[in-house]
Structure formats: C-alpha cells, structure tokens
C-alpha cells in the first residue's frame, strides 16, 4: 500500500477509501505503480487529517491492513510511521502492556484487544509536547507576553485538573479553543481536558503522564519503562528508526538532541532492541 497525503484535496487521486471503524478511515493510493504487499501506515500529529500533512496520509489499524492485504498479495510487511504527536501513538503501540489496561473512568465496557506485531516502526519529529508548550510560555508570543502566557497556562492546567470530566465523571470536558490556540495548538482542533493534562504533564518529570514520552528531562528509569519495554512486548519485528530534525521549530533551544537520541538508543538497547 502506498500512502501519501495531498497538499490540496481539490486534486483528484486514484485510490480506495477504507472505513476501518465508524469514525476512522484510511485512504489507499493506487495510482502510478503496481500494488504491492508491503504497507506503510502513517499516523499524523495533533490536528492532522486528510490533506494536512504534505507527504503521507493519516491512517492506523495494523490488523485491518494485514487481513485486507494477505488474501490478495500474501504476507507482506507492515511498517508503522508516526509524525510529530503521532510518534507517541507509535510508542504506545510498541511499549504499552498487551492488552492495555482499561481506563478507570471512560472504559466501562472495556474488552481486551491484543495488538498485532509490525515489521518495523518510524518516528518522525518525536518532539515533547510539554517542552514545546513550556517554550511558548517562557518566550511568549506576538500576542501574549511571557507573564501573560504563564498566567494563561497556570489557569488552563488548574481548570483542567478541577473539571476533567462532567456528567457523573463519564464525559470529557474540553479546554476552550481560545486557550489552546494561544498556547500553540490548531485553532480548529478541540483538546479534551484529559488529553491536555496528558500532553502538558504538569507533574513531570517526577510523575510523567502517559503522553510525556520524549521530554529531555525524563529520568533513565522512565525511559527504561518506555523505550526499554519495547523488546519485551514482542510487537516490533525488526528495528525502529527515529528521524529528528536538527532545526525542529517545536524543540526548545535548551534541548541537546544528540544526547537525547543517545539516551533513547541506550534505553532501547538495554532490553535487547536496537533502534
């Protein structure tokens, strides 16, 4: 399966639209080359969707792809690729317990689902959302001074922690778009309070949330729980590639990228998994 994204949805492209679930779709590009057994599944970042990333399409569901491809082409390889915040999805897929435990509030009718192994994984721009936000808060924006950003951030965290759910703790609340857009998130991408707290991880680095995976100040013990658990889960058939831009605009200038990559590699290799 060739997967790529269009810079303009007005441009017609030959392909197949897959309805994987009622709310999740994938687009398979079929124009220009023979169809092949191998598959690259791409997961976009926060706010991404069809037509928003220049080089790939937003899609996930390994088991669906394998069942769809094998009868026609045989047992091809599947590589999982995440872009930006989508890299967190790749990490969760590879290191989380199998099956993953139910959420104590939201997964009232939870049933265990076993994840299907992949042949390889790619994380492109695996930046820390927490450090990116803290950088904005520290530097301010054209609209808000650093002092104003600090107050905005503190209030957003306080409100999200105080009112994470509503309707008898069964429904997520939403952080106002007027807040998240000033911090740096897309103005058209609602973020739940639970997700916001997971991204900003206010108790890090001592108690990192589940989405604080790539921050430079995380302890070696935390990295051993994430990168270091990939090998024992048995979901990565071969290797994982990390593509980290030397001038990523979402990475603060205080982050030493080479040191950070070395720490990730060491944590992964410590459990017998080479990156």
SS (HEC) of the chain: CECCCCCCCCCCCCEEEEECCCCCEEEEECCCCCCCCCEEEEECCCCCCCCCCCCCCCCCCHHHHHHHHHHHHCCCCEEEEEECCHHHHHHHHHHCCCCCCCCCCCCCCCCCCCCCCECEEEEECCCCHHHHHHHHHHHCCCCCCHHHHHHHHHHHHHHHHHCCEECCCCEECEECHHHHHHHCCCCCCCEEHHHHHHHHCCCCCCCCCCCCCCCCCCCHHHHHHHHHHHHHHCCECCCEEEECCCCCCCCCCCCCHHHHHHHHHHHHHCCCCCC
Q: What pLDDT does 259 receive?
A: 95
Residue 100 shares a structural domain with residue 233: yes
Residue 19 shares a structural domain with residue 124: yes
Q: What pLDDT does 221 receive?
A: 96
The count of domains in the chain is 2
Residue with tokens 């392909």: 15
Query: Final residue of a domain: which of 143, 169, 200?
Result: 200
Residue 147 lies in a domain: yes
Residue 1 lies in a domain: no
Whether the Cβ atoms of residue 59 and residue 23 lie closer than 8 Å to each other: no
Residue 107 shares a structural domain with residue 194: no
Q: What pLDDT does 266 receive?
A: 95
What is the rounded distance in angstroms from the CA atom of residue 275 to the CA atom of residue 261?
Answer: 10
Residue 103 shares a structural domain with residue 237: yes
Residue 110 shares a structural domain with residue 141: no
Residue 43 shares a structural domain with residue 124: yes
Residue 237 lies in a domain: yes
Residue 259 lies in a domain: yes
The whole domain housing 196 covers: 129-200
Residue 162 shares a structural domain with residue 233: no
Residue 57 shares a structural domain with residue 149: no
Low-confidence ranges of the chain (pLDDT < 70): 1-14, 23, 29-60, 103-108, 110, 271-275
Q: What pLDDT does 274 receive?
A: 56
Residue 64 lies in a domain: yes
Residue 122 shares a structural domain with residue 230: yes
Residue 119 shares a structural domain with residue 196: no
Residue 167 lies in a domain: yes
Residue 135 shares a structural domain with residue 104: no
Residue 23 shares a structural domain with residue 122: yes
Residue 76 lies in a domain: yes
Residue 247 lies in a domain: yes
Whether the Cβ atoms of residue 235 and residue 117 lie closer than 8 Å to each other: yes
Q: What pLDDT does 57 receive?
A: 31
Query: Final residue of a domain: which of 166, 200, 234?
Result: 200
| Encoded tokens for 148 | 């104003």
């Amino acid at each position: 399966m060739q997967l790529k994204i269009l810079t303009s949805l007005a441009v017609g492209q030959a392909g197949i639209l897959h309805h994987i679930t009622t709310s999740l779709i994938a687009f398979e590009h079929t124009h220009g080359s023979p169809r092949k057994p191998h598959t690259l599944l791409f997961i976009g970042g926060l706010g991404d969707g069809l037509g928003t990333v220049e080089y790939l399409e937003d899609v996930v569901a390994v088991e669906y792809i394998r069942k769809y491809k094998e009868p026609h082409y045989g047992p091809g390889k599947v590589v999982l690729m995440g872009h930006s915040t989508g890299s967190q999805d790749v990490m969760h897929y590879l290191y989380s317990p199998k099956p993953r435990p139910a959420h104590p509030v939201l997964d009232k009718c939870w049933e265990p689902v076993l994840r299907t192994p992949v042949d390889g994984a790619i994380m492109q721009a695996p930046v820390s959302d927490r450090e990116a936000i803290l950088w904005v808060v520290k530097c301010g924006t054209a609209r808000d001074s650093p002092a104003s950003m600090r107050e905005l951030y503190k209030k957003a965290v306080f409100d999200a922690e105080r009112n994470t759910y509503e309707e008898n703790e069964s429904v997520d609340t939403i952080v106002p778009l007027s807040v998240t857009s000033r911090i740096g998130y897309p103005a058209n991408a609602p973020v739940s309070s639970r997700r916001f707290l997971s991204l900003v991880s206010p108790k890090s680095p001592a108690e990192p949330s589940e989405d604080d995976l790539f921050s430079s100040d995380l302890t070696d013990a935390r990295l051993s729980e994430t990168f270091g658990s990939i090998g024992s889960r048995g979901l990565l058939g071969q290797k994982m590639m990390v593509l980290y831009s030397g001038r990523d605009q979402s990475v603060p200038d205080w982050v030493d990228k080479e040191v950070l990559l070395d720490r990730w590699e060491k944590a992964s290799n410590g459990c017998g998994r080479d990156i």
